[in-house]
Amino acid sequence: MAKDGAAKLSKNLLRMKFMQRGLDAELKKQLDEEEKRIISDEHWFLDLPELKAKENHIIEERSCVPCEDLVYGRMSFRGFNPEVEKLMLLMNTHKEEEEDEEEDDVSRMETDITDEEMARRYESLVESMRKKFAKKRNRSTVTKSEEDVNCNVVGDQPKKVFLKPQD
Amino acid sequence: MDPVHACFKEKIGEVLLPGDVFSFRLPESGDGSVKTDKIICGPGLRRNGEEVQVCKSGILRHKPPNMYWIDSQQRRYVPAKGESVIGIVTAKSGDIFKVDVGGSEQASLSYLAFEGATKRNRPNVQVGDLVYGQFTIANKDMEPELVCIDSCGRANGMGVFGADGLLFKLSLGLVRRLLAPQSEIVKDLEKIFPFELVVGMNGRVWVKSKTVQQTLIMTNVLETCENMTSQQRQTLFKRVAEGSL
């Protein structure tokens, strides 16, 4: 291949990476900008004024269920089907709860065990946990402490400490 | 807000015909943003640009704060999203069931849309079964789709039902009256004898009672009480209750 000089090389060849290693940073920037311009000129765009999406104040609703607050469709009366009766309560109170949410009611949650049972459980739980973590010497005092009518702890023996020998 | 609601308010409780138009100019405030509340048009009303047009004849009803709809009578059901209907399974094809809901097209029900259904664990649904489900897709351009679970994946009473009992058809207006909260018809029906009822928004009702005779009595009573006043209905129910004892 005869060396004719840089003028004879094609544009695409000059744009290739290995030909640009010798260029300055400025020349590189210029070439980049030219390329971007060419590419963006090729992009198509609509020559329309900017349209704003209209906020719709009118909402269409096809179903009449929210309009008339219809209840759940499965019903059972006088204990014919107890499962369906449970479902009725569930679904209809669920619907009422959604309406009551705005009223800020602190309603009681449904519980499996009563509050008294829960309190009793916790009492015994605290005792057993305390025993577990008490040191061996203190374990007997933990179990033995009794309370009289006024909840004063009676029978608290003095804690056993190391007694230095007199001699 | 006020001009909008005012032009509705004067027509609440009146009979409107298709073609009646509610048009109002929404006032614009200085900065161009229109601060009005949203209006919800229920069945029978359609939005046409900035206007609301009536497309069914009936009485205009209102529910505060901002819901309006036309209370009309018809027997033909048009599927709408979110409504619970009773369907009859007509075909099983691959992964879906074809269900007849009384609309212009049959709805499709995927076999995975049941509680606890997986690819290995298929639900036990046969052709001819009654299904209680909700529409997830129901518009005029697409085939309606039913599901038998809610968004959390629980069945909530939907699915196949009806080992015994009788399925019959009522008009849509009566069905809505049955499903209204504190419905009087339901309260009167309770007093006759114990029974189980499944009401679909497509006008189909399924009744089951202890004996076949009681079931037939319930069916007849429901079909005839549509055009009765409450007085006539109560006398009828009393007669039935005494007659059946």
Which of A105, A121, A137 is the C-terminal boundary of a domain? A105
Q: What is the mean pLDDT of chain A?
A: 77
Average pLDDT of span A52-72: 82
**Whether residues A38 and A70 fall in one domain:** no
E-strand spans in chain B? 15-16, 21-23, 39-41, 45-48, 51-54, 58-63, 67-71, 84-93, 96-100, 107-110, 130-137, 145-147, 159-161, 166-169, 195-199, 204-209
For residue A151, the model assigns a pLDDT of 53
Q: Is residue A143 part of a domain?
A: no
- Residue (of B216, B17, B202) closest to A73 by Cα position: B202
Lowest mean pLDDT among A28-32, A47-51, B49-53, B192-196: A47-51
Q: Is residue A54 part of a domain?
A: no
E-strand spans in A49-151? 58-60, 74-77, 146-147
d(CA B86, CA B68): 27
The alpha carbon of residue B218 and the mean position of all alpha carbons in its chain are separated, in whole angstroms, by: 20
Among the partner residues A59, A62, A84, nearest to B196 by beta-carbon distance: A84
Beta-carbon separation of A75 and B186 below 8 A:
yes
**Amino acid letter, B240:** V
**How many structural domains compose chain A?**
2
- Residue (of B130, B124, B145, B143) closest to B200 by Cα position: B130
**Whether residues A37 and A67 fall in one domain:** no
Identify all chain A residues contacting B199, using CB atoms and an 8 Å cutoff. Answer: 73-75
Residue with more model confidence, A45 or B169:
B169
How many A/B residue pairs have CB atoms within 8 Å?
122
CA A98 to chain B, closest CA, distance in angstroms equals 15
pLDDT band at B91 (very low <50, low <70, confident <90, very high): very high
3-state secondary structure of A137: helix
Q: Is residue A24 part of a domain?
A: yes
Average pLDDT of span B59-64: 87
Identify all chain A residues contacting B50, using CB atoms and an 8 Å cutoff. Answer: 58
pLDDT band at A148 (very low <50, low <70, confident <90, very high): low
ipTM of the complex: 0.77
Average pLDDT of span B59-81: 88
pLDDT above 70 covers a percentage of chain B that reads 92
- Residue given tokens 């003095």 in the structure block: A158
Tokens of B49: 């640009």
| Cβ within 8 Å of residue A10, ≥6 positions away | none
Q: Does pLDDT of A105 surpass 50?
A: no
Among the partner residues A61, A77, A81, nearest to B41 by beta-carbon distance: A61
pLDDT tens for B4-39 read 677 777 888 889 899 888 876 655 544 444 456 788
Contact between residue B133 and residue B87 where contact means Cβ atoms under 8 Å apart: yes
Which of A71, A105, A139 is the C-terminal boundary of a domain? A105
Give helix then strand counts, H and E, for chain A.
6, 4
Q: Is residue A126 part of a domain?
A: no
For residue A103, the model assigns a pLDDT of 46
Q: Does pLDDT of A2 surpass 60?
A: no
Interface of A with B in 37-96 (CB under 8 A): 55-81, 84, 87, 90-91
- Residue (of B35, B44, B43) closest to B4 by Cα position: B35
pLDDT above 90 covers a percentage of chain A that reads 1
Identify all chain A residues contacting B197, using CB atoms and an 8 Å cutoff. Answer: 74-77
CA A88 to chain B, closest CA, distance in angstroms equals 9
Q: Is residue A79 part of a domain?
A: yes
pLDDT band at A60 (very low <50, low <70, confident <90, very high): confident
Q: Is residue A116 part of a domain?
A: no
Suggest the residue from A54, A59, A68 to mutate for an interface test with chain B (most B CBs closer than 10 A). A68
Q: Is residue A2 part of a domain?
A: no
| Cβ within 8 Å of residue B133, ≥6 positions away | B84, B85, B87, B99, B109, B113, B146, B147, B148, B158, B159
For residue A153, the model assigns a pLDDT of 60
pLDDT tens for B133-174 read 999 999 888 999 999 998 888 888 899 987 788 999 999 989
Lowest mean pLDDT among A100-104, A158-162, B79-83, B125-129: A100-104
d(CA B155, CA B116): 9
Domain of A25 in residue numbering reads as 11-42
CA B78 to chain A, closest CA, distance in angstroms equals 10
Q: Does pLDDT of B100 surpass 90?
A: yes
Beta-carbon separation of A70 and B194 below 8 A:
no
Residue with more model confidence, A154 or A117:
A117
- Residue given tokens 């489900």 in the structure block: B133
Beta-carbon separation of A68 and B38 below 8 A:
no
For residue A142, the model assigns a pLDDT of 65
For residue A104, the model assigns a pLDDT of 45
**Whether residues A71 and A101 fall in one domain:** yes
For residue B203, the model assigns a pLDDT of 92
Among the partner residues B84, B181, B190, nearest to A78 by beta-carbon distance: B190
Identify all chain B residues contacting A74, using CB atoms and an 8 Å cutoff. Answer: 132, 157, 161, 196-199
Q: Is residue A84 part of a domain?
A: yes
**Whether residues A68 and A101 fall in one domain:** yes
